[in-house]
Amino acid sequence: MEKKKILITGSNGLLGQKLAELLVTKPSIETIATAKGDNRLPFQDGYIYAEMDITDPESVEAVIAKFRPEVIIHTAAMTNVDQCEMEKEMCWKLNVTAVEILIRACKKYDVFLEHLSTDFVFDGTSGPYQEDDAPNPISFYGWSKYAAEKAVMSSDIRWSIARTVLVYGIAHDMSRSNIILWVKKSLEEGKTIKVVTDQFRTPTLAEDLALGCYLIADQQAEGIFHISGKDFLTPYEMALMAADYFALPASLITPTDAFTQPARRPPRTGFDLTKSRKVLGYEPHTFREGIALLATQIG
């Protein structure tokens, strides 16, 4: 049987790595991993790596013409919310212009585009959100991701949008921490930490997000899908659960209101997963199960 070709953008990132790890286990899929610069995946077998700069139309055209994927899962983006607020041109180039370039290539070669988006397209006044709730971004990052969504939706290609929330996990060769690792390290060192109580999220295990993305790609399911964890928590509650799991002193965790940051954060997001469960058969881990998985990965 002929294999289905799936191309990943941003394969060096957290989601990109988890997606590559998952796709290479599927005998029916041929995986093409792409990123800017060298391949940083921790394993070499079972996929093809190609360098691709998503902001360069010629680079995108050359790679897609060569490999002719059936599906592109577009994970590459500028996701540092405060950096996006300060470097708006770079943010727009990576988060919007790149998507327009991909859309043109997908149209030319009849590729199904699965685009990754975020809960930050919402203003956070009434979460958890369903897929058809109206976006209203309150940060430049949110605006850039919403503009990309609109570009995808108004195109005449086959598409899906996978929105997600506060992704955590452990990637190879990445300095970026996550709330669980930060809490564990701080408490082990006996440091007092301040954690916010006035933001609500459904934190997403990177492995769960990869699974959700695979389910969409495999079915070429069209439309918007909310892919996140199922526990509706504040960062303060997440920190307490991490302390509890690792048997570290929760007394060192101090609740606080949101810090002043360059970009505004939506207070209450999180997702209603009804549609993803029904259409895709998506079922994520609990947050505690996610902590347990990370614990095995850090050894």
For residue 136, what pLDDT is reported? 98
Domains of the chain, residue spans: 4-169+204-231+271-285
* Token pair 């976006």: residue: 135
Q: Is 36 helix (H, G, I), strand (E, B) or coil?
A: coil
Query: What is the rounded CA–CA span in Å between residue 115 and residue 259?
Result: 31
For residue 52, what pLDDT is reported? 98
For residue 177, what pLDDT is reported? 82
For residue 145, what pLDDT is reported? 98
167, 120 in Cβ contact below 8 A?
no
For residue 21, what pLDDT is reported? 98
**Amino acid in the structure at residue 246:** F
Q: How many CB atoms lie within 10 A of CB 68?
A: 12
Q: Is 148 helix (H, G, I), strand (E, B) or coil?
A: helix
Residues 6+ apart with CB under 8 A from 145: 77, 95, 117, 118, 120, 121, 137
Q: What are the helix (H) ranges across 68-113?
A: 81-86, 88-92, 98-109
76-103 pLDDT per residue, tens: 999 999 999 999 999 999 999 999 999 9
For residue 258, what pLDDT is reported? 74
For residue 7, give the H/E element and its range.
strand 4-9
Q: Which two tokens stand for residue 266?
A: 């939506």
Query: What is the rounded CA–CA span in Å between residue 150 and residue 160?
Result: 12
Q: Where are the beta strands (DSSP E) in the chain?
A: 4-9, 29-35, 47-51, 71-74, 112-118, 159-164, 167-168, 193-196, 204-205, 223-226, 253-256
Q: Where are the beta strands (DSSP E) in 52-203?
A: 71-74, 112-118, 159-164, 167-168, 193-196
Q: Please tell me the pTM assigned to this model.
A: 0.97
CATH for 4-169+204-231+271-285, among 3.40.50.150, 3.40.50.720, 3.40.640.10, 3.40.50.1460?
A: 3.40.50.720
Q: What is the pLDDT along the chain (299 residues), one digit of tens a residue?
A: 789 999 999 999 999 999 999 999 999 999 999 999 999 999 999 999 999 999 999 999 999 999 999 999 999 999 999 999 999 999 999 999 999 999 999 999 999 999 999 999 999 999 999 999 999 999 999 999 999 999 999 999 999 999 999 999 998 876 778 999 999 999 999 999 999 999 999 999 999 999 999 999 999 999 999 999 999 999 999 999 999 999 999 999 999 987 788 999 999 999 999 999 999 999 999 999 999 999 999 97
φ/ψ of residue 55, rounded to 5: -90, 0
Q: Is 161 helix (H, G, I), strand (E, B) or coil?
A: strand
Nearest 5°: CA angle at 22, between 16 and 168? 50
